[in-house]
Structure 1
């Protein structure tokens, strides 16, 4: 991979996730409409239940975005954080559009790298680890295949990449009318298995981003329905209460007040 890949604008979606100003790990932000949700390794979030989280939107820490709430995905491997407000333009961090999130972890042979966050003195910096991606089904013994990331370079063997995002650089596909694109495919978490598909040891197991996409779509639909729901509530409060009256029995006169 050459240097221009490291300058891809999509990588600006990777930001420092903080608790009380201390780095928790990387979080990758994606925006759909007015909602911004970030994805990271769930294990990074578990020790901070009840703590106030924020995201540094400038790598020198001079600007922060507040996290309103966070939780775990359906499979409890992915941690999801929701920002209170969208991120302003002109900052070091820029969320991805939902269309830049890939539905699978299959790189289809394209170049890929894990992009994370680390401290660099008083600042934060984005880390960069080119990787191979392999599938492991436990030699046919497992019903569920997992994706594993192995480093291309000796310098990256054994480094911590928990919460880093897997990006892939896809070439143009004229048959489908697609230009070249950079997509995010998954989140790295600690690998505790024994597989070694490459010469260098596995760095991480990868978690897909399906639940991130679902959360963004659901959140935006809720926002779009809020004016309608508020209108219904107001109409309901204004509507006079209707009292049902039973008809008089047949053959008897109705007394009028």
Structure 2
């Protein structure tokens, strides 16, 4: 597209969910001609709006983009939830274009449609950005909460413990998914499953739907393929837990607040 010189927010992505930030560590905002020349040359398109300004998106490619690019998680860790949401949306759209260059039905080349975020092949088959529904659940047992250390972000010197999560399967309700995932990963049954909130989670295209549940029976048995360990923790001996801005942290806090409210 031909860039407007109007002010906007600039989401420049490269590599694997990496975002270009200014030297001050902030999301670029302003006029296009204020951006570095090598960024101005990138092909941008509008994908959203924020604070009354357009949000521009560009993909500089799948190779390592350089030191000025950081994980989009940094915006979440900085507490900028809306910037993180928009960067996540931008990354999901970039990932969608990268992974749908050819049609899964006929094998022909695909191109973006004009009126919506979709890709169409010459035969007319249209596909939309993939969204993978996931559950994430905090389980309470009396005055304790169930937390687990997952292989994918385990550090032996300072392990991160979080709540349980998993993808919904075909023909399964979200509540059924909660019960199945908890049983598969930890060997226990749960009851009183209730929905709390959702959070888009762009790694790469999940929609996390958060729940609370109560322990209903069974002995803790860790699924070794998924978890390093799992245990019940009280509020005064918590391990390292996910940062603010994550739905996992919100579920943990809600559970601990409920436990505190029930204490004599």
User: What is the TM-score normalised by the length of structure 1?
Assistant: 0.24
Bigger relative contact order, structure 1 or 2 (CA pairs below 8 A, ≥6 apart): 1
User: What is the TM-score normalised by the length of structure 2?
Assistant: 0.24
